[in-house]
Amino acid sequence: MRRFLEENSLSLVFGGLFLATLVGQAFAGWHLLNDELFAEGLHQISFGRYLTSASFAVDVTENWQSEYLQFLLYVIFTVWLLQRGSPESKPLGHAGKESDEEQKVGAYAQDDSPRLARVGGIRTALYSRSLGIVMGAIFLMSWLVQSVAGWADFNETRLRQLRDPISWGSYLLNSDFWSRTLQNWQSEFLAVGSMAVLAIYLRQRGSPESKPVGSPHDATGIEG
């Protein structure tokens, strides 16, 4: 048990942090919405009702979609794009999908390679892109849910302002949808871009996200 915890501590800790902060967000968002309803002389809603509200859903999914987009782009872009001196980059001169031998697929698969890396054909081709495909699918699904929940939440506000609701199609062109979307995207791109650059010159001893402390600044694709 202790060994299991130790060997999976990264995912367990982040899973726990996710749940704790999601609960925290739910309580904070519930109080915020009820404060707005109170100010407008409207009926305040229960916590359970808030959890199934469009307001909560859009606040959650607008962040989810941007996180998965960030990692999707990072996974895809780092195949082709390089950054001299960054541990986030592959070594210079290695841009691209690399050879089957380097990737240990098909005839070059090893005894302990996943079966889908060995079988070849469409299954290996799909498996070779499975991380990007799944991240991309979660991104699109989250973005779709954000658009629908955001539309419902936006219309709820419009009705309180004595204005007609708008269609989902109109909402996709509305500034509310793009403000929610782009405010999250810009922060993700800033974080990823600055990580790739800061890791050229700065170190975090023991972290695989950093080069070893003594590595030179121009050493590329080395993780500590």
Binding region for other proteins (CB under 8 A): 37, 40-43, 45, 52-57, 60-61, 141, 144-145, 148-149, 151-153, 155-156, 159-165, 168
The angle at the Cα of 187, spanning 66 to 19, to the nearest 5 degrees, equals 55
d(CA 10, CA 8): 6
Q: Which is nearer to other proteins, 57 or 105 (CB)?
A: 57
φ, ψ of residue 45 to 5 degrees: the values are -105, 160
Whether residue 217 contacts residue 90, with contact meaning beta carbons closer than 8 Å, is answered with no
In whole angstroms, how close is the CB of 179 to other proteins at the nearest point?
19
**Shortest gap between Cβ of 52 and other proteins (angstroms)?**
6
Of residues 74 and 139, the one with the C-beta less far from other proteins: 139
- Least distance (Å) between residue 13 CB and other proteins: 24
Q: Please state the closest distance from residue 128 (CB atom) to other proteins, in A.
A: 27
Which whole-number Å values give the CA distances from 149 to 40, 53, 73, 113, 122, in the listed order? 22, 8, 24, 42, 36
Task: CB nearer to other proteins: give 111 or 164.
Answer: 164
Report the SS3 class of residue 33: helix
Report the distance separating Cα 69 and Cα 71, nearest Å.
6
> Closest distance between other proteins and the C-beta of residue 138, in Å?
11
Amino acid residing at 151: W
User: Is the CB of 76 or the CB of 148 nearer to other proteins?
Assistant: 148
Q: How far is the CB of 148 from other proteins (least distance, A)?
A: 5
* Residue (65 or 184) nearer to other proteins, CB: 65
What long-range pairs does 58-61 form, CB within 8 A, spacing at least 24? Answer: 58/146, 58/149, 58/150, 58/152, 58/153, 58/180, 59/25, 59/29, 60/22, 60/25, 61/142, 61/143, 61/145, 61/146, 61/149
Which is closer to other proteins, CB of 33 or CB of 72? 33
